[in-house]
Chains A and B, each alone.
Chain A
Amino acid sequence: MRGRLVESRLDHGQALEDDGAILASDARDDALVTACERELARLRPALPSAARVRLVAEASSEGISSAMTVRVGGLSIVTTLEHVADDVRLLTSCTTGVTPVPRRPLPLLWRNGSAAVLLHEAQGHALEHGHAPLSLPEWLRVDIPLRMRRATFRDVPLLRMTHVRAEQRHAPFALPDECIEVHLVEGGTYEPLTETVTIRIAAATLRGEALAPFVMVAPRQALRFLGAQGEPLRYPGVICSREGQELIVESHAPLLLTELA
Chain B
Amino acid sequence: MIYRKRGAVVRWENGTIVRVVESGLAVEEGERFECRPEGAAPGQLDPDSVLSAVEAIRERVRPLLIERLIVTHGRSEHECEDRVWTEETERFHLSIVRGTNRAIVDSTTARMDDLAPIARALAQAGEERDPPRHLRLAPCVTAALLPSLVNAPPADARLVQTAGGLDGYGHPVGESTGAPWPNWYRPSYRSRPVRMPLNLRLESHQTELDPDLPLALALLGPVHGSSARVLIAGAGSVYPATIQVSRVAAVGGLGVWYPYGGGSFGAEMMF
Q: Which residues of A contact B (CB under 8 A)?
A: 4-13, 20-28, 154-156, 193-194, 243
A-B residue pair count with CB separations less than 8 angstroms: 73
Question: Known contacts being A8-B34, A9-B34, A9-B35, is A25 close to B17, with CB within 8 Å?
Answer: no
Complex-state Cα separation, A6 to B44, whole angstroms:
33
Chain A residue numbers with a CB within 8 Å of B36 are 9-11
Chain A residue numbers with a CB within 8 Å of B102 are 193
Question: Known contacts being A6-B32, A9-B190, is A21 close to B18, with CB within 8 Å?
Answer: yes
Q: Is the CB of B16 within 8 A of A26?
A: no
Q: Add 13 more A-B contacts to A11-B36, A156-B18 (CB < 8 A).
A: A6-B31, A8-B34, A9-B190, A13-B22, A21-B17, A24-B21, A26-B22, A26-B23, A26-B24, A27-B39, A193-B100, A193-B101, A243-B68
* Cross-interface CB contact of A22 among B16, B21, B68, B100, cutoff 8 Å: B16
Residue in B closest to A192 when the chains form the complex, CB atoms:
B67
A255 to chain B, nearest CB (A): 33
* Cross-interface CB contact of A21 among B14, B19, B99, cutoff 8 Å: B19
A52 to chain B, nearest CB (A): 13
Complex-state Cα separation, A23 to B10, whole angstroms:
9
Q: Taking the complex as formed, is B209 at the interface, i.e. its CB lies under 8 A from any CB of chain A?
A: no
Q: Is the CB of B17 within 8 A of A22?
A: yes
Q: Chain A's interface: helix, strand, loop or mixed, by majority?
A: loop
| Most chain B Cβ neighbours within 10 Å, of A20, A155, A156 | A156
Q: Is the CB of B34 within 8 A of A7?
A: yes
| A–B pairs, 7, beta carbons within 8 Å | A7-B32, A7-B192, A8-B34, A23-B44, A26-B23, A28-B39, A156-B18
Q: Taking the complex as formed, is B131 at the interface, i.e. its CB lies under 8 A from any CB of chain A?
A: no
| Most chain A Cβ neighbours within 10 Å, of B20, B44, B101, B190 | B20
Complex-state Cα separation, A12 to B22, whole angstroms:
10
Complex-state Cα separation, A109 to B23, whole angstroms:
49
Q: Is the CB of A12 within 8 A of B37?
A: yes
Chain A residue numbers with a CB within 8 Å of B44 are 23
Residue in A closest to B14 when the chains form the complex, CB atoms:
A156
Complex-state Cα separation, A201 to B99, whole angstroms:
29
Q: Is the CB of B41 within 8 A of A25?
A: yes
A9 to chain B, nearest CB (A): 5
Complex-state Cα separation, A122 to B31, whole angstroms:
41
Chain B 68-109 per-residue mask, 1 if CB under 8 angstroms from chain A, else 0: 100000000000000000000000000001011110000000
Q: Taking the complex as formed, is B181 at the interface, i.e. its CB lies under 8 A from any CB of chain A?
A: no
Residue in B closest to A24 when the chains form the complex, CB atoms:
B20
Q: Is the CB of A26 within 8 A of B17?
A: no
| Most chain A Cβ neighbours within 10 Å, of B31, B37, B39 | B37
